[in-house]
Amino acid sequence: MTSKERMLAALNGTMPDRLPVTTHHLMPYFLERTLGGMSEAAFFEEFAMDAITWTVPHKPRPGSGDFPDPLQGSLGFLESHRVANDSWRIYESDESRDGRKFTRFRFVTPGGELTMAIEDRGYTAWVAEPLVKNKRDIDIIGSYATTPNCDVEAVNRTAAEFGQRGLVRGHICCADIFGQPGCWQDACCVVGTERMIMEANDDPEWVHELLAILQRRKMGFVESLAGAHYDILELGGGDASASVISPRMFDRFVAPYDKPLIDAAHKAGQRISYHLCGKIMPMLERVVDMGADAIETMTPVGMGADCNLAEAHRRIAGRACMIGGFDQLHFFTGCDEETTRAEVRRCFNEAGGGGRYIIAPSDHFFEAEPKLLKAFASEAAKCTYAEVLI
């Protein structure tokens, strides 16, 4: 099988020729610091992993009066080229100080201005000042934020060029500047996670109002996906994991907003991988019941979460593909190759039965020894399905 065929077999519930092995986003910090600026394409070739490529090209909705934002600088975290109009303009200014890089953004609309700030330490970036400070700030977002469409032609050009090398991945559109694909996770980015949890208890009507605003924008994007040659798109986010919220909160504030997006994506001919980088065991059936085609990152105890691959496989085998499960903290650094290989075998033996498993690090990694990356991939390539219960 080609890498694309192998991973699609795992996603679709047919049998791959052997265990697919890949990773999530490759962090520029790692590629630059450890591998001398190696490209993503060269990384997958060098380490013999099943390749992925991420592309999320946006375009204005036809007839909307929107246009590609001419003020946008370099792309940020999970960011695509923004869509602006005369009522939704974003200006940025450098406010770095004391050797720390800060960027402030002003969202200028007829209804008023919003501001936020991002800090970037090179290896990653985060929200230093949230966009929503007063509750009625969400009225500005609801009234003026643009809704991007998928640039289907651009996706298909990427897919044609990438060919059989691997999966073409994307994600549901995020809040401008800094957001994430799931409605709850996006809200946590623009408001702040702790405040969202408190408001969910103190003022749930306001939380539902915000989630509906974010969902409406995402739904417009999802409905534009028909004909895009994606292999899988990401939804969700770690703030919806059991590390952050309870299953009851998931049922009230996550599933009602993300499930309709999954349904609409399926209607548009797309697969959805639901991303929960955090404790996942109480949420397993909930995610599968929403209709997700895959669930990631299956983060293990050694990475601070709770995933037991054997139990997860027992509970949801055949219902969704599991992606991840490998502890990159302890087996990409500080051990020998045989220890890494043994961990690959453990993951395969626990989750490989039936073929709906793609081994990958449980989310991003910033440090890794090249010899252990090679051991990880080469051992996975030796894992064939005659060895596990089908």
Q: What would the 3-class secondary structure string for 32-45 be?
A: HHHHCCCCHHHHHH
Q: How far apart are CA 30 and CA 32, in angstroms?
A: 5
Which alpha helices (H) appear in the chain, and where do they start and end? 3-12, 28-35, 40-46, 137-144, 152-162, 183-191, 193-202, 204-222, 247-249, 255-267, 284-289, 309-316, 328-331, 337-351, 370-381
Q: Output the pLDDT for position 77.
A: 60
How many C-beta neighbours within 10 Å does residue 135 have? 13
Torsion of CA 274, 276, 282, 283, to 10 degrees: -20
Q: What is the pTM of this model?
A: 0.95
Full pLDDT tens readout for the chain, 390 residues: 999 999 999 999 999 999 999 999 899 999 999 999 999 999 999 999 999 999 999 999 999 999 999 988 776 666 788 999 999 999 999 999 888 899 999 999 999 999 999 998 878 889 999 999 999 999 999 999 999 999 999 999 999 999 999 999 999 999 999 999 999 999 999 999 999 999 999 999 999 999 999 999 999 999 999 999 999 999 999 999 999 999 999 999 999 999 999 999 999 999 999 999 999 999 999 999 999 999 999 999 999 999 999 999 999 989 999 999 999 999 999 999 999 999 999 999 999 999 999 999 998 899 999 999 999 999 999 999 865 544
Contact 314, 349 (CB under 8 A): no
**Domains annotated on the chain, with CATH:** 3-58+147-176+216-381 (3.20.20.210)
CA-angle at 28, arms to 27 and 34, nearest 5°: 90
Q: What is the pLDDT of residue 270?
A: 98
Q: Is 263 helix (H, G, I), strand (E, B) or coil?
A: helix
Q: What is the C-alpha to C-alpha distance for residues 169 and 389, in angstroms, rounded to an integer?
A: 30
DSSP 61: P
Report the pLDDT value the prediction gives residue 234, as an integer from 0 to 100. Answer: 98
How many Å apart are CA 322 and CA 76, to the nearest integer? 28
The secondary element (H helix, E strand) that includes residue 51 is strand 51-54
